Amino acid sequence: MHRLSRLGLVLVVTTGLATAAFSAQSPTAAPAPGHSGVGVDLAGIDRDAAPGDGFDRYANGAWRARTEIPADRSRIGSFLTAAMLVEQRNVDIIAGASRSNPAPGTDARRIADYHAAFLDRAAIERRGIAPLRPHLERIRSIASRRDLSAALGASMRADVDPLNATAFGTENLFGVFVAQGLQEPNRNFAYLLQGGLGLPDREYYLSETPEMRRVRDGYQAYVGQMLALMGVADAEDRAARIIDLEIKIARAHVDAVAAQDPHRVQTWGRAEFAARAPGIDWDAFLGSARLADEERIIAWHAEPIRGISALVASEPLDTWKDWFAFHTASRMAAMLPQAYDDLRFSFYGRVLAGQQQQRPLDRRAIQATSNALVDAVGKIYVERHFPASAKADVDEMVRNIVQAFDRRLTGLTWMAPETLREARRKVETVTVGIGYPERWRGYSGLEIRDDDAFGNAWRAAEAEYRHQLGKLGRPVDRGEWWLGAHTVNAVFLPLQNAMNFPAGILEAPFYDRTADPAYNYGAIGSVIGHEISHSFDNLGAEFDAEGRLRNWWTSEDMAHFREASQALVRQYDGYEPFAGLHLNGELTLGENIADLAGLAAAYDAYRASLGGRPAPVIGGLTADQRFFLGFASAHRESAREAALRNLIATDSHSPGRYRIETVRNLQAWYDAFDVRPGQALYLAPADRVSVW
């Protein structure tokens, strides 16, 4: 699963947005047409629960009691609700491309052919593993460390943004991310990231808890079964050696908290790699990775790169070849015969995520096509489902929340004038992308055939890598988008001081055109505030308005900020979803800061939008109640235990229940629901956390 955003689960599917207006309402006048709805899922509220004893249980308890997680899902909630609508719209887009018989060489033809090839399982079965064989032959032909280094470099592919992800593990030995430099914001650099793992995080290899051992044992069984299916002799013994190698790679990795720390990053000259990270033949590696012409490369995970490079020299060549062959087959299993596809799902779906069934083939075909040709599909989606009026309406809401955040900054009593000046400059210069990018990516160089599912996926990954490397040596694009227009997610980009709000997330239950503004400010408004607040979370605060890693704080202000942040760490460390398993407040700190500050800014923006007039009571709920219930709707979820444990171990986001309960830090929530001392969520005013 691709992890890019700091908001939530990335679902690369399509969705739409209808228009909404955000005007103040008089409590005595009838709500304007299109804005009369309560927005809140009234049937989802558990009326027997007290908001002060568990706000998630109150807001979503009845919904959770009546909602089963589909057998082909590991969790369900608001993201999936929006994604299912988006997915259905994508069905129409992709099926329409197939029916229209588009001209060869067009993006519509590529969409139709990619989709047709993925669905043609009979053709995939007939070809067997023939598409995989050339890749396996190249691996078998490796006869030296130089050969291995060259082959590993040739397998490099584009990776996720290290500033916005915690699961840095990639089945390639390293990942590559291309973006502006930490100290040189006007120049693009290649970033090298730790990789080489088939499990989501180093803790899956190193932890001795029963749950982690169960997953690790399941993974070793999967590796052995995959090797046997490929016809490899002594599959179980070779699988054991692969697992042993990955345990050593995991020991070289830094943990999920350290992996986000920009101060651990080093910039290495092209000629320095051999001395700084001996083991890999770096001339061969970087040449095959098409990075040989780069004078400097940023080692985002410098220590892991050293450790992994040493393993290339110290571990048996045959073990590396087995590791390489296994991961090549595993990564491409969906484009191989059914036995390979089923085997991969049996581990990654059932064991790791608790999923009971594989998603239907037709839906996987839609997602695969959408992922491979993201801008081609997204452009059609926007044309059909995201009118200019919708973009203008959401833009107005964003401006209101940005202004509210700025007012919160100016109201701080602890921040020195020089720090405040830089902070406000970040807010004033932030780039906000709404709906879709200004420039769409083209796919004219990508060959897609209607009878070659394996080749299509392989070439699409190579094309993405070439696209990312193509940014090297070119001016930095401040308006670059990192999410597809039809993605149900949002993202803040510290290096660009920019935010993307795709059309995909601008849909109910995040954004409801029929609802009164109170609900929308609580739901999508809190999402907008969340991304704005990332500019000032524990990571975003390290970067200035140009995206340069620079300390623009006074020492006193930074000390105050860190003290407030640690109070939030302690609050989340105290949550215990399973006996003996607590949340990691340090890992989730950035997201928790953004949830809290974003919710506060969205609330301020909503109250300001009323212009001093009282808001209407709708559906028996006050405006403030609808606002906070809108926030709870946006983070509603139910997850299988395996999926929830995975999230706690690897994700920078807290589980939905605990994100929702950040309301306990805001006085307005206490007033809205009459929360009193003695209730489980009650915090004395002095104990409530306020970072921004």
Q: Residue 13 — very low, low, confident or very high, per pLDDT cuts 50/70/90?
A: very low
Q: Is 638 helix (H, G, I), strand (E, B) or coil?
A: strand
Please give the DSSP secondary-structure letter assigned to residue 6.
S
Q: What are phi and psi of 74, to 5 degrees?
A: -100, -15
Residue 391: per-residue pLDDT: 86
- 355, 349 in Cβ contact below 8 A? yes
Mode of pairing for the β-strands spanning 637-639 and 491-493: unpaired
User: Which of 3-12, 26-35, 337-346, 417-426 has the lowest average pLDDT?
Assistant: 3-12
- 587, 167 in Cβ contact below 8 A? no
- 381, 370 in Cβ contact below 8 A? no
- Answer yes or no: is pLDDT of 19 > 90: no
Q: What are phi and psi of 99, to 5 degrees?
A: -70, -30
- 45, 526 in Cβ contact below 8 A? no
152 closest CA partner among 44, 263, 312, 345: 312
663 closest CA partner among 26, 164, 69, 60: 60
- Answer yes or no: is pLDDT of 28 > 50: no
- Answer yes or no: is pLDDT of 617 > 80: yes
Q: Is the model more confident about 30 or about 612?
A: 612
- Answer yes or no: is pLDDT of 2 > 90: no
Residue 615, C-beta contacts closer than 8 angstroms, at least 6 positions apart? 24, 25, 27, 516, 518, 622, 623, 624
- 305, 162 in Cβ contact below 8 A? no
Residue 89, C-beta contacts closer than 8 angstroms, at least 6 positions apart? 14, 15, 16, 381, 384, 385, 486
521 closest CA partner among 591, 592, 603: 603
Residue 99: per-residue pLDDT: 87
- Answer yes or no: is pLDDT of 169 > 80: no
C-alpha to C-alpha distances, 167 to 164, 265, 297, 464, nearest whole angstrom: 10, 17, 21, 20
Mean pLDDT of the chain: 91
Residue 514: per-residue pLDDT: 84
Residue 75, H or E segment? strand 75-77
Residue 160: per-residue pLDDT: 52
- Tell me: the pLDDT tens digits for 561-589? 999 999 999 999 999 999 999 999 999 99
- Tell me: the pLDDT tens digits for 118-132? 999 999 999 999 999
Average pLDDT over residues 198-220: 95
Cα 528 to chain centroid distance, Å, stands at 16
E strand map for 513-604 = none
Residue 387: per-residue pLDDT: 85
- Tell me: the pLDDT tens digits for 394-432? 898 999 999 999 999 999 999 999 999 999 999 999 999
Cα dihedral angle (315, 316, 317, 321), rounded to 10 degrees?
Answer: -90
CA dihedral sign, ordered 111, 116, 119, 120: negative
Average pLDDT over residues 54-81: 94
Residue 606: per-residue pLDDT: 97
Residue 162: per-residue pLDDT: 39
User: Which of 20-24, 277-281, 339-343, 640-644 has the lowest average pLDDT?
Assistant: 20-24
- Answer yes or no: is pLDDT of 534 > 80: yes
Q: Is 482 exposed, middle or buried (0-12, 13-18, 19+ CB in 10 A)?
A: buried
Q: How far apart are CA 204 and CA 353, in angstroms?
A: 13
Q: How far apart are CA 501 and CA 525, in angstroms?
A: 11
Residues constituting the chain: 692
Residue 426: per-residue pLDDT: 95
Cα 522 to chain centroid distance, Å, stands at 22
Using a pLDDT cut of 90, give the percent of the chain over it. 86
Sequence letter at residue 539 = L
- Answer yes or no: is pLDDT of 207 > 80: yes
| 180 Rama sector, left if φ>0, alpha if ψ -120 to 50, beta otherwise | beta
Average pLDDT over residues 634-647: 93
Residue 389: per-residue pLDDT: 79
Map out the domains of the chain with their CATH numbers. Answer: 42-90+372-687 (3.40.390.10), 120-353 (1.10.1380.10)
Scanning 186-301, the segments in alpha helix (DSSP H) are 203-206, 210-229, 235-252, 273-276, 282-288
Q: How far apart are CA 370 and CA 377, in angstroms?
A: 6
DSSP string, 379-443: HHHHHHH--HHHHHHHHHHHHHHHHHHHHHHHT-SSS-HHHHHHHHHHHHH-EEEEES-SSPPP-
Per-position b or e across 521-543, b if 16+ CB within 10 A of its CB? bbbbbbbbbbbbbbbbbbbbbbb
Residue 7: per-residue pLDDT: 28
User: Which of 11-15, 290-294, 321-325 has the lowest average pLDDT?
Assistant: 11-15
Q: How far apart are CA 186 and CA 67, in angstroms?
A: 49
Residue 290, C-beta contacts closer than 8 angstroms, at least 6 positions apart? 469
Q: Is the model more confident about 20 or about 583?
A: 583
Residue 400: per-residue pLDDT: 96
- Tell me: the pLDDT tens digits for 33-54? 334 589 999 999 999 999 999 9
Q: Is the model more confident about 163 or about 150?
A: 150
- Answer yes or no: is pLDDT of 29 > 70: no
Average pLDDT over residues 452-470: 96
- Answer yes or no: is pLDDT of 331 > 50: yes
108 closest CA partner among 123, 97, 93, 117: 97
Q: Residue 600 — very low, low, confident or very high, per pLDDT cuts 50/70/90?
A: very high
Q: Output the pTM of the full model.
A: 0.89
